[in-house]
Amino acid sequence: MFHSRSTLTQLFFIVASLVAVAVAVVVLVILLTTNRPGARSQASAQGLTPQLGWNDWNAFGCDVSAQLVEQTADKLVTSGLKAAGYEYVNIDDCWMTHDRDPRTGQLVPDPTKFPQGIAGVARYVHSRGLKLGIYEDAGTATCAGYPGSLGHERTDAQTFSDWGVDYLKYDNCNHRGSTTTQQYIDRYAAMRDALAATDRPIFYSLCEWGVHRPWTWDPRVGNSWRTTRDIHDTYASMLSIFHQNVWLYPYASPGGWNDPDMLEIGNGGMTTTEYQTEFSLWAAMAAPLIAGTDLRNISDDDLAIYSNRDVIAVDQDPLGKQAVPISTNGMPAGSHGLWVLSKPLINGDRAVVLFNSTEIPQAIGTTALQVGLQHGGAYVLRDLWSKRALTTQGAIRAHVPAHGVVMYRVSVSNTPGPTPADHFAGK
């Protein structure tokens, strides 16, 4: 009797333990699959590095057409930009007619601009090994006055998916008085969920201009979010956007990027030095690199900027960190218009940008330890624009032209030695 009671007790404890373990496993699985930021969206599968591509808006405004998009796709291939990583060919505002199809409620591509519809352009772009992006708006109308998606999210997401669209830029005009952060989140999350309900992976680029700090939305709503108002093709505009975006470094990571707007390189309003600066800063900030110029007629100098694979590799580094502004010599970062940015890279290197935003040439200096590298006998500094390499004992210093940058990839050297002035092989 005594014996069998103890056996029963043991049996009870074994069964109870098994049930407890099973419950714990089920709870763990539920937590892992449903409670992650972005789990309800496709965010985790998209944008593991910042998006690379082209968009017509900066150079063409409303003057978009199938011909422009297809010729640009061709140029992305023949120029080598596709091979360098550019992937998305994106249509901005003004691609549709002013009315939805009265029978289906669907958006209607402008038949003059897109005679084969968006599906025809998507086929063409896909045949070139590229992906197609489109534009819509989280309000009643787009910024240029075409039908918006507010209240039509499911229909429009399904339409985009049916057409073969791979990317959606979602703008913020005409939102009918929605003012609170929650109302903003709701409008953008409605399209996120509508996209997730289609069976097509679609990159989701929020164009909310940073009004309600979309970088703080939890769970994440998009794969990237504009952080500022629109860029213009001037040094002052580019600098002001840099000043706003540079401090948002804690919020960027694989799947979700700060977007300081599309690149102006090639549009003629800045010097080659300033365009190199734009490309370097955007890459250091792990920003989307979306060319905003007429690639069909681009100059060799401007094409060389877009094609710099060493700088692109910094932007696309899989660690997915945005550069941190470093204070130098006890001075706060950026004071006197001199900046040192340090971006950790997956192999342990640091990308370091020395940026002189002032009107006169100046020396900018820091050290390997200040930018976050380990103690080492020596460091190799590879200049990502001149392609020269030098070895130092830790000093990272350069004379930087007005409005210019010097951009290094810095690594700890195992073989301290004299300065090699040789060309280094880019990635």
| Residues marked as catalytic | 171, 230
| Residue 263 CA, distance from chain mean position | 12
| Identified binder of ligand GLA from the candidate list 96, 143, 290, 381, rule CB under 6 A | 143
Measuring CA to CA, which residue among 332, 225, 353, 348 is closest to residue 281?
A: 353
Q: Which stretch binds ligand GLA (CB under 6 A): 36-44, 135-143, 151-159, 326-334?
A: 135-143
Q: Distance (Å, rounded) from C-alpha 412 to C-alpha 396?
A: 12
Report CA Rg, the chain: 25
Taking CB atoms, the residue at the shortest distance from ligand GLA is 143
The 39-78 site mask, x for binding ligand GLA (CB under 6 A), equals: ------------------x---------------------
CB of 195 to ligand GLA, least distance (A): 18
CA 320 to chain CA mean position, Å: 10
Instruction: State how far the Cα of 315 lies from the Cα of 53, in Å rounded to an integer.
Output: 13
Interface residue with ligand GLA among 93, 136, 166, 259 (CB under 6 A) is: 93
Query: What is the maximum span of the chain, computed from C-alpha positions, in angstroms?
Result: 97
Pick the stretch among 107-115, 141-149, 270-278, 342-350 that binds ligand GLA (CB under 6 A). Answer: 141-149
Q: Is 110 in the site for ligand GLA (CB under 6 A)?
A: no
Residue indicated by tokens 């892992």: 32
C-alpha to C-alpha distance for 99 and 94, rounded to whole angstroms: 12
Q: Applying CB under 6 A, does 207 fall inside the site for ligand GLA?
A: yes
* Pairwise CA distance, residues 175 & 179, whole Å: 9
Is residue 201 within 8 Å of 46, Cβ to Cβ? yes
Taking the C-alpha atoms of residue 59 and residue 263, their distance in angstroms, rounded to an integer, is 10
CB of 65 to ligand GLA, least distance (A): 16
Nearer to ligand GLA, 93 or 264 (CB): 93
Q: Choose the stretch contacting ligand GLA; rule: CB under 6 A; options: 138-146, 283-291, 329-337, 416-424.
A: 138-146
CB of 92 to ligand GLA, least distance (A): 5
| Distance of alpha carbon 76 from alpha carbon 128, whole angstroms | 9
Which of 70, 87, 92, 278 forms a contact with ligand GLA (CB under 6 A)? 92
Our CB check for ligand GLA shows the closer of 38 and 260 to be: 260
Footprint of ligand GLA (CB under 6 A): 57, 92-93, 135, 142-144, 171, 207, 230
